[in-house]
Amino acid sequence: AHLDRIAEVEDRVHAFLHVGAESALAQAAAVDARRAAGEELGPLAGVPIAHKDVFTTTDMPTTAGSKILEGWRPPYDATVTRRLREAGLVILGKTNLDEFAMGSSTENSAYGPTHNPWDLTRIPGGSSGGASASVAAYEAPLSTGTDTGGSIRQPAAVTGIVGMKPTYGGSSRYGLIAFASSLDTPGPFARNVLDAALLHEAFSGHDPMDSTSIDQPVPSVVEAARQGDVAGLTVGVVKEFGGDGYQPGVLARFQEAVELLESLGAKVVEVSCPSFTYALPAYYLIAPSECSSNLARFDAMRYGLRVGDDGTRSAEEVMALTRAAGFGPEVKRRIMLGTYALSSGYYDAYYGSAQKVRTLISRDFDAAFQHVDVLISPTTPTTAFPIGERADDPMAMYLADLCTIPSNLAGNAALSVPCGLADEDGLPVGLQIMAPVLGDDRCYRVGAAVER
């Protein structure tokens, strides 16, 4: 049924870079065989899923949305991929994304943009825009994403679905093509909170293959999603997120969510997190710095594309030609920003200062969680904007992640749940619920109570 749905809408939505129809049917048959052989399979066995094309898969291409990886076949599966297979999920295909997950609209994909199923002239968010669109368009009931600065929560918000950024280190980065290694976090998309929790539990947890993976027992997010109540909890509204620059319809739905929380028995208080104001500039030093280092591996020798290797050129010339042809404009901008910020003489002023801001942001969270159980804010300042509107204005594009970035810098858990449609444009609005490090269960508990 999902393959039929993909065939029906995909030429308008363009959520996928690769659909493995035959492979999906074979995977489904294999799950049936495992069950027939008496294997105890989990609750998601046989359920189809769309997989972001930034996780390695041995049986499908993996491009990270870049020309530089066109035609590359990974020699191993990412841990997330492997765990999906073990849980019996059926991978339908690989979803579109901003090149190397850099962007908020999926317009930076080298393979063309994805369209928001609510309004095909609008963006589906990014970088996991293919993942959000595939679930919102009913092409898949579940999908995977990665969140470095908001790339799960922002696409979830603007397509009216649920998206979770787990605690950093709570889900494995092994086999995830790296953007900014200290921020990258795999997480689930679904159409409701319980489904997201089931997928979260299926692929997260300690992985010895990832040196930053957390080896600690965590409370069950599925139980928390089933519990779904807020009685007795204290909820903090982040004072810094709202007001000027926020769309009225977003603020109206957010206010209703606050009232709903109160009516369900939560105590709602205002909390100031003054350093959050500096999260965006700090992120745009740290993330490009890490990316400039991570993307050095695309050297024309190891992977995919190789340009100008005709026997007359040096390895360095081939590398330069390949990188010039293989990387898109946003990726080049980030590499230049990052190498500049890390260069000697500037390192302390830029990268060093950004790391200090990062510590201040963590302290704001720590102070807040002394007296509130969760913090809330709108997930994004506006609903989905038109394709093309911010494409030539990186600063406007970067603002889409204003509210989501602090949780990446601090590494804590954060969920986006739908909270209604904006009056001006009838487009979905997301409520962000932020919890302490390893407090992922709180996001699900509160999210399940308020989801609409």
Give the active site residues: 52, 127, 151
Helix H or strand E segment including 50: strand 48-52
Closest CA relative to residue 42, chosen from 89, 9, 76, 75: 89
287 lies in the site for ligand GLN, by CB under 6 A: yes
Number of residues in contact with ligand GLN under rule CB under 6 A: 13
186 lies in the site for ligand GLN, by CB under 6 A: no
- Binding string to ligand GLN for residues 403 to 432, with x set by CB under 6 A, is what? ------------------------------
> How do beta strands 162-165 and 185-190 pair?
antiparallel
What radius of gyration, in Å, describes the C-alpha atoms of the chain? 21
328 lies in the site for ligand GLN, by CB under 6 A: no
Helices (DSSP H) in 62-220: which residue ranges? 79-86, 129-136, 153-159, 193-203
* CB of residue 101 to ligand GLN, shortest distance in Å: 4
Measured from the CB atom, the residue of 111 and 179 that comes closer to ligand GLN is 179
370 Cβ neighbours under 8 A, 6+ residues apart = none
Q: Is 7 helix (H, G, I), strand (E, B) or coil?
A: helix
Measured from the CB atom, the residue of 273 and 291 that comes closer to ligand GLN is 291
Which residues inside 249-278 make contact with ligand GLN, applying CB under 6 A? none
> How do beta strands 267-271 and 90-95 pair?
unpaired
Rounded-to-integer distance, Cα 27 and Cα 206, Å: 26
401 lies in the site for ligand GLN, by CB under 6 A: yes
Which residues inside 81-110 make contact with ligand GLN, applying CB under 6 A? 101-104
Sheet containing strand 142-147, strands side by side? 16-19, 90-95, 48-52, 142-147, 185-190, 162-165, 413-421, 428-435, 374-378, 234-238, 267-271
Measured from the CB atom, the residue of 289 and 322 that comes closer to ligand GLN is 289
CB-CB neighbours of 25 under 10 Å: 12
* CB of residue 439 to ligand GLN, shortest distance in Å: 20
* CB of residue 254 to ligand GLN, shortest distance in Å: 21
Q: Sign of the CA dihedral 150, 155, 160, 165?
A: negative
Q: Is 269 helix (H, G, I), strand (E, B) or coil?
A: strand
Measured from the CB atom, the residue of 47 and 158 that comes closer to ligand GLN is 158
> How do beta strands 48-52 and 16-19 pair?
unpaired
- Binding string to ligand GLN for residues 144 to 183, with x set by CB under 6 A, is what? ---xxxxx---------------------------x----
Measured from the CB atom, the residue of 373 and 401 that comes closer to ligand GLN is 401
CB-CB neighbours of 370 under 10 Å: 7
* CB of residue 250 to ligand GLN, shortest distance in Å: 18
DSSP class of residue 386? B
Rounded-to-integer distance, Cα 184 and Cα 168, Å: 7
Measured from the CB atom, the residue of 27 and 143 that comes closer to ligand GLN is 143
DSSP string covering 291-345: HHHHGGG--SSSSS---S-SSSS-HHHHHHHHHHHHS-HHHHHHHHHHHHHHSTT
Q: Sign of the CA dihedral 143, 401, 61, 11?
A: positive
| Diameter of the chain measured on Cα atoms | 73
280 lies in the site for ligand GLN, by CB under 6 A: no
Binding site for ligand GLN (CB under 6 A): 101-104, 127, 147-151, 179, 287, 401
